[in-house]
């Protein structure tokens, strides 16, 4: 008789917890970061909240649907759309943050900005996280985060300045120009960003690293970096994946932003399985369910109910 092959415990990537506003997020409690764009020109029309009342309603909806963190931005990421100076950005984001802090005292609040003066203007709103999506373009931003006692997101943009779309992007390093060069560049850049944050005084448990798909990357680059999420997690910091309705999903499936939810959720599941624990999302409820389900499949989160087949227990569920 042929013996069965040996079965070994799974060795899945796990990162240290992210701790913000006294809350701990890890592989057993992944965090959903809801997006509220205080802009009239966000790439997806479903998240344009130039009107403050609209932004307030979006905040309430995000919390009701299971958001742990709310990330507000006042400037479109890409080069299309209107130019926004620092004063206009402050006018857009600070009143929203002040309202959010009053309405939800325990909610983790994040500001998507690359400008240190915008982050400083949000000090009185009780800011918890500075989401620097442009990889330290303003070198003072990380110091402002430290002064505020906030966390910081370290990102990778391939060296591009803010609001620059990638054109003719190539990655090559001392090890060559093979396809993994982009992954190595991401890992090196995020390691350096996290080290700079710690040197500035940001506590390690408040540092997030984000491979920043689409930014400074082709669609093939983004797919490859997503596939290597575990290598990013191996740096030893909690990993943020911002995947929601991005161009790499749209180009992979040849779909417009309105039709990218399923592709986004597939990418989310892969990232969660591979060690990411924070997910920036437009579609909060769907993302919440996906990351909780993946956490349970990984064995990091117990199922909410576990009565099927147990003696004397009956869910009375025909399914």
Q: pLDDT tens, 10-43?
A: 899 999 999 999 999 999 999 999 999 998 877 7
Which pLDDT value is given to residue 176? 74
CB distance 53 to 90 below 8 Å: no
User: Rounded CA gap, 198 and 224, in Å?
Assistant: 28
Per the confidence metrics, is the pTM higher than 0.85?
yes
CB proximity list for 16: less than 8 A, separation 6 or greater? 26, 204, 205, 236, 237, 238
Instruction: Count Cβ neighbours within 10 Å for each residue of 152-161 and write b for 16 or more, e otherwise.
Output: bbbbbbbebe
- pLDDT at site 313: 65
**pLDDT given at position 1:** 64
Positions of the chain with pLDDT lower than 50, given as ranges:
none
Answer for the pair 74, 36: CB distance below 8 angstroms, yes or no.
no
Crossing angle for the helix pair 181-200 and 141-148, to the nearest 10 degrees = 50
Which architecture does CATH list for 23-298?
Alpha-Beta Barrel (3.20)
Question: What is the dihedral sign for C-alpha 263, 269, 275, 280?
Answer: positive
Q: Which residue do the tokens 């764009």 mark?
A: 37
SS (H, E, C) 43-81: CCHHHCCCCHHHHHHHHHHHHHCCCCEEEEECCCCCCCC
Q: What is the pLDDT of residue 314?
A: 61
For every residue of 75-113, DSSP letters joined together read S-SSSSS----HHHHHHHHHHHHHHHHHH-TTSEEEEE-
Neighbours of 280 (CB within 10 A): 23
Instruction: Express each pLDDT in 171-209 by its tens digit.
Output: 998 887 789 999 999 999 999 999 999 999 999 999 999
Strands (E), 186-268: 207-209, 240-242
What is d(CA 58, CA 77) in angstroms, rounded to the nearest whole number?
A: 20
Rounded Cα–Cα distance for residues 129 and 150 (Å):
5
* Cα–Cα nearest to 244, from 287, 207, 277: 287
Token pair in block for residue 269: 């599941």
């Amino acid at each position: 008789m042929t013996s069965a092959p040996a079965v070994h415990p799974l060795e899945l990537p796990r990162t240290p917890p992210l701790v913000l506003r006294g809350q701990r997020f890890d592989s057993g409690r992944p965090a959903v970061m809801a997006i509220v764009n205080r802009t009239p020109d966000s790439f997806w029309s479903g998240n344009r909240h130039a009107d403050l009342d609209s932004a307030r309603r979006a905040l309430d909806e995000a919390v009701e649907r299971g958001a742990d963190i709310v990330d507000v931005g006042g400037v479109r990421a890409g080069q299309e759309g209107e130019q926004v100076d620092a004063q206009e950005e402050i006018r857009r984001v600070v009143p929203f943050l002040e309202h959010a802090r009053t309405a939800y005292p325990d909610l983790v609040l994040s500001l998507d900005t690359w400008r240190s003066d915008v982050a400083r203007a949000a000090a009185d709103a009780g800011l918890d996280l500075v989401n620097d999506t442009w990889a330290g373009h303003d070198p003072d931003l990380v110091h402002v985060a430290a002064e505020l006692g906030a966390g910081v997101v370290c990102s990778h943009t391939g060296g591009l300045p803010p609001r620059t779309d990638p054109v003719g992007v190539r990655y090559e390093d001392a090890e060559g120009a093979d396809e993994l060069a982009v992954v190595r560049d991401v890992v090196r850049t995020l390691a350096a960003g996290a080290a700079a944050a710690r040197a500035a005084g940001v506590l390690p448990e408040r540092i997030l690293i984000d491979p920043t798909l689409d930014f400074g990357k082709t669609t093939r680059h983004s797919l490859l970096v997503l596939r290597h999420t575990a290598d990013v997690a191996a740096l030893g910091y909690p990993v943020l994946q911002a995947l929601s309705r991005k161009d790499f999903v749209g180009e992979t499936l040849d779909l417009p932003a309105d039709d990218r939810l399923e592709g986004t959720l597939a990418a989310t599941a892969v990232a969660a399985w591979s060690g990411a624990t924070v997910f920036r999302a437009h579609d909060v409820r769907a993302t919440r369910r996906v990351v909780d389900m993946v956490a349970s499949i990984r064995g990091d989160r117990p199922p909410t109910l576990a009565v099927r087949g147990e003696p004397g227990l009956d869910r009375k569920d025909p399914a």
